[in-house]
């Protein structure tokens, strides 16, 4: 392939690479460039105003990329390949943002600015892209950046728009032609080039992974000396395991306060678990004070609590005695004095007078973002949020990076989960890289302990793929959970298509998007006999469809989230991006039908869909912010407020929906307050009011519309495997 200068007339091109998910783009950029021999004669300069970089990794990765591009010449092929590799890698993770058809996270923006002030944005489309609306949105930005949009500009945009729909036919020459033909003034982009331009100085740049000593971070370039480092000590990103080649011996070490991994002395981020060590605040209940140690090592006697246990049907004030991780005894009037003095000295007594003592809650739909998006949440902080919410078991969704479509990633999560104090279960995806077409090795993943299979975040559109997966799931006796939104009926995700989206001119996601898929999958479940869960149901008609399928004998189940039974689309006007989620909040009528479904058992699980995002991400305009809200720390309270207090269901029923049913769906033995059962227990005040404060969240994220709400149902203790893992 010949080398083509992509420059303006006077030979200078400035490139700004922006990504709606900056850190990923840069990770790929740095990794790719470390593996190529850069040659050619196109000088690239990266300029940044940090736009589009949402995480600290982004900035670090960006600096590396800048260094790489500086004074280098890159040929067309290299550039193409680089963009290609970035886009391919990005498309695999589109699920987390739920932008249908691989939009947004998969879409990268390259600004080519010529020295004459002429510039263009190249919107590089991703494979599998199938929704033109986003391009139009971005192209709209271009138009709005034009100082004097003329008829030519408009026709240019139209041409570009058309070209982007056929990326294969896009040539470098066309790109060049566009770069010099469009008058786009980009504000706030610093001028990088001196007025008198001379040929770039080509200085040889060391490849990223040079030499034999050490493992260089593909994102920020920092040298990590320890052979078994998994995460970069500087930027916290995952290091490429293939590149391990370490010989340097460190003399002083820094032990991670969260996971105990021994790091090199100047490490900022832990190479074992990825947390920022200096800023890590150990959850109070994990601090090794003498008092806590004592609590951890003693038996626990819970006195005078009202035991509400849907498994045994118990609803009475009764004492519970815990020893050796299990419930040793339940009964009236168990007293410390009943035990011999040595034992009774070591009993931690909890006075649960006026409180509810229930089986530990089970949330079977959480996103802990680990690996890959640990700036939003990680397994340790996710588990702390769970404990604070009264949960002792969680089932994590698989839209991490890499996605859980392989045994190695599954094991990583399971092993880290074991250090948290709660039970962390992990699902695997149905399809590889969530691509909707190729099935994962379901058997191997089942053998390795996957809790079930789900492409949560994106719908599975291909019936053949889904039916094959359902049949395999039947063989493996594992459930399949489905995110039901057909992109055909979505103009923009995250907000209901209705009065609010009309008011905002947003487009929105129609309830039909959910209904058509739920109708299909109810019938497929019936037909295959698979155990299927309709995730986070949001539409009243979908509830009706599940009701019918259950009546017909399908092994079908449905989840409802606290936000879907508490809020309606109006919340978007009040809480903005913190009310943007997939599927969206819908109408009062839908909300009522969800409650009806909960009452009559059509909906059998309450889950949070805990979907943490960073403040920066949620600070973006509604159309650009990611979908999803956190939920673990407000779920029980909202269940009481929206379902129990108005008299829709009993407290017993709420606990059934938040513990027994989800556990059983994912093939676990449900927790119960009975002799011999594992001591997984939540103790809360049903009517104890508390205020949701953003500072109090144990989660890394605080993207919740419920901040400032006063809620009932304060959790006082969470006990998991006989240990107090949270205490208010
Ligand atoms: N619910 C959301 O809006 N987002 C979830 C994905 C999902 O559960 O669909 C996420 O991963 O952020
Ligand atoms: Zn989902």
**Catalytic residue flag (residue 609):** yes
Token pair, residue 508, equals 């929105």
Q: Is the pLDDT of residue 393 over 80?
A: yes
Check if the beta carbon of residue 696 is closer than 8 Å to that of residue 283. Answer: no
Residue 300, strand partner residues: 322, 348
* The predicted structure's pLDDT at residue 227: 56
- Please indicate if the annotation marks 324 as binding a ligand: no
State if residue 582 touches ligand 1 by the CB under 6 angstroms criterion: yes
Strands 605-606, 556-560: pairing is parallel
Counting every residue written for the chain, the total comes to 728
**Is 693 annotated as belonging to a binding site?**
no
Phi, psi torsion values for 721, nearest 5 degrees: 50, 40
pLDDT at site 361: 98
% of the chain exceeding 70 in pLDDT: 59
Question: How confident is the model over 48-59, as pLDDT tens digits?
Answer: 223 322 222 233
Q: Is 536 one of the annotated binding-site residues?
A: yes
Mean pLDDT across 118-144:
32
Ligand 1 pocket, residue 628 CB under 6 Å:
yes
> For residue 381, is pLDDT > 60?
yes
Indicate if the pLDDT at residue 267 is higher than 70: no
pLDDT at residue 467, rounded to an integer: 98
Q: Is 60 exceeded by the pLDDT of residue 97?
A: no
Q: Is 96 near ligand 1, meaning CB less than 6 Å away?
A: yes
Contact call for residues 128 and 113 (beta carbons, < 8 A):
no
Q: What is the mean pLDDT of the chain?
A: 73
Q: Ligand 1, from 396, 628, 699: best to mutate by most atoms within 8 Å of Cβ?
A: 628
Dump pLDDT digits (tens) for 394-416.
999 999 989 999 999 999 999 99
Q: How many CB atoms lie within 10 A of CB 438?
A: 11
Identify the weakest region by mean pLDDT among 342-356, 557-571, 681-695.
342-356
Q: What is the pLDDT of residue 226?
A: 57
Ligand 1 pocket mutation pick from 487, 611, 631 by most atoms within 8 angstroms of CB: 611
Q: How far apart are CA 537 and CA 485, in angstroms?
A: 10
Sorted by where each starts, the structural domains of the chain and their CATH numbers stand as: 2-196 (no CATH), 221-287 (no CATH), 358-727 (3.20.20.140)
Report pLDDT for 257.
Answer: 73
Is residue 93 over pLDDT 50? Answer: no
Q: How far is the CA of 96 from the centre of ligand 1 (A)?
A: 6
Higher pLDDT, residue 714 or 175: 714
Sequence-ordered list of residues with C-beta below 8 angstroms from that of 23, at least 6 positions apart, any chain:
53, 54, 55, 57, 58, 61, 219, 237, 375
Q: How many whole angstroms separate alpha carbon 564 and alpha carbon 561?
A: 5
Please give, one letter per residue, the 3-state secondary structure of 33-68: HHCCCCCCCCECCECCCCCCCCCHHHHHHHHHHHHH
Atom 8 of ligand 1: nearest residue by CA position? 457
Q: Give the mean pLDDT of 569-589.
A: 97
CA distances from 405 to 237, 367, 461, 479, 503 (A): 20, 15, 18, 16, 40
Q: b vs e for 139-176, b when ≥16 Cβ sit within 10 Å of the residue's Cβ?
A: beebeeebeebeeebeebbeebbebbeeeeebebeebb
Establish whether residue 627 lines the binding site of ligand 1, counting it when its CB lies within 6 angstroms of any ligand atom. Answer: yes
Residue whose CA lies nearest to ligand 1 atom number 6: 457
Residue 298: per-residue pLDDT: 72
Q: Is 279 exposed, middle or buried (0-12, 13-18, 19+ CB in 10 A)?
A: exposed
Read off the pLDDT of each residue in 573-592 and give the average, rounded to a whole number. Answer: 97
Atom of ligand 1 nearest to the CA of 580: 3
- Within 8 A by CB and 6+ apart from 293, the residues are none
CA of 610 relative to ligand 1 center, distance in Å: 8
Is the separation of the CB atoms in 594 and 537 below 8 Å? Answer: yes
Q: Is the CB of 581 under 6 A from ligand 1?
A: yes
Instruction: Tell whether the model's pLDDT for residue 727 goes beyond 90.
Output: yes
**Residue 255 — pLDDT band, cuts 50, 70, 90?**
low
């Amino acid at each position: 392939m010949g080398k083509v200068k992509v420059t303006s007339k006077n030979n200078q091109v400035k490139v700004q690479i922006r990504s709606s998910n900056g850190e990923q783009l840069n990770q790929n950029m740095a990794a790719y460039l470390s593996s190529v021999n850069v040659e050619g004669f196109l000088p690239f300069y990266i300029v940044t105003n940090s736009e589009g970089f949402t995480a600290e990794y982004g900035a670090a990765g960006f600096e590396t990329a800048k260094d790489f591009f500086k004074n280098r010449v890159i040929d067309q092929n290299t550039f193409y390949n680089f963009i290609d590799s970035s886009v391919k890698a990005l498309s695999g993770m589109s699920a987390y943002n739920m932008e249908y058809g691989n939009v947004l996270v998969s879409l990268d923006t390259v600004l080519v600015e010529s020295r004459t002030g002429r510039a263009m944005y190249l919107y590089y489309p991703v494979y599998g892209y199938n929704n033109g609306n986003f391009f139009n949105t971005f192209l709209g930005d271009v138009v709005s950046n034009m100082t004097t949009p003329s008829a030519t500009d408009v026709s240019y945009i139209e041409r570009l728009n058309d070209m982007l729909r056929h990326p294969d036919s896009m040539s470098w020459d066309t790109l060049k032609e566009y770069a010099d033909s469009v008058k786009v003034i980009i504000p706030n982009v610093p001028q990088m080039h001196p007025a008198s331009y001379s040929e770039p100085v080509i200085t040889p740049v060391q490849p990223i992974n040079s030499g034999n000593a050490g493992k260089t971070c593909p994102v920020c370039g920092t040298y990590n000396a320890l052979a078994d480092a998994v995460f970069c000590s500087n930027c916290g990103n995952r290091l490429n395991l293939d590149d391990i080649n370490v010989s340097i011996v460190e003399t002083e070490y820094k032990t991670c306060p969260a996971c105990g991994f021994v790091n090199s002395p100047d490490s900022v981020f832990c190479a074992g678990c990825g947390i920022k060590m200096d800023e890590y605040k150990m959850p109070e209940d994990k601090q090794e004070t003498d008092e806590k140690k004592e609590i951890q090592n003693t038996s626990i006697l819970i006195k005078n609590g009202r035991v509400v246990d849907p498994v045994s049907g118990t609803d009475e004030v009764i004492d519970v005695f815990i020893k050796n991780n299990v419930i040793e005894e339940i009964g009236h009037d168990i007293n410390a004095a009943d035990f011999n003095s040595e034992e009774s000295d070591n009993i931690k007594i909890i006075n649960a007078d006026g409180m509810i003592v229930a089986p530990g809650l089970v949330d079977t739909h959480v996103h802990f973002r680990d690996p890959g998006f640990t700036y939003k949440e990680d397994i340790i902080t996710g588990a702390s949020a769970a404990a604070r919410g009264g949960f002792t078991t969680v089932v994590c969704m698989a839209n991490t990076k890499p996605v859980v479509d392989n045994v190695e990633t599954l094991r990583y999560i399971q092993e880290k989960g074991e250090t948290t104090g709660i039970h962390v279960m992990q699902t695997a995806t149905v399809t590889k890289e969530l691509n909707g077409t190729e099935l994962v090795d379901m058997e191997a993943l089942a053998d390795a302990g996957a809790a079930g299979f789900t492409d949560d975040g994106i719908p599975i559109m291909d019936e053949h793929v889904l039916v094959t997966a359902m049949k395999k799931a039947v063989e493996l006796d594992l459930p399949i959970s489905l995110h039901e939104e057909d992109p055909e009926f979505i103009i923009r995700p995250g907000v209901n298509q209705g009065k609010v989206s009309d008011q905002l001119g947003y487009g929105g996601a129609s309830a039909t998007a959910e209904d058509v898929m739920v109708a299909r999958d109810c019938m497929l479940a019936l037909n295959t006999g698979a155990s299927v869960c309709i995730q986070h149901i949001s539409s009243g008609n979908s509830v009706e469809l599940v009701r019918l399928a259950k009546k017909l004998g399908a092994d079908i189940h449905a989840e409802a989230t606290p936000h879907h039974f508490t809020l309606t689309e109006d919340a978007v006007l009040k809480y903005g991006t913190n009310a943007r989620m997939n599927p969206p909040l819908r109408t009062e009528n839908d909300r009522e039908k969800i409650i009806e479904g909960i009452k009559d058992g059509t909906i059998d699980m309450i889950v949070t869909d805990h979907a943490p995002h960073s403040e920066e991400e949620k600070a973006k305009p509604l159309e650009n912010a990611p979908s999803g809200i956190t939920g673990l720390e407000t779920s029980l309270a909202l269940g009481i407020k929206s379902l129990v207090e108005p008299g829709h269901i009993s407290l017993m029923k709420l606990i059934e929906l938040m513990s027994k049913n989800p556990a059983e769906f994912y093939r676990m033995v449900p927790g119960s307050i009975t002799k011999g059962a594992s001591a997984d227990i939540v103790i809360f005040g049903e009517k104890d009011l508390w205020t949701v404060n953003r500072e109090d969240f144990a989660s890394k994220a605080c993207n919740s519309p419920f901040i400032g709400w006063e809620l009932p149902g304060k959790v006082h203790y969470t006990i998991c495997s006989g240990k107090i893992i949270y205490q208010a």
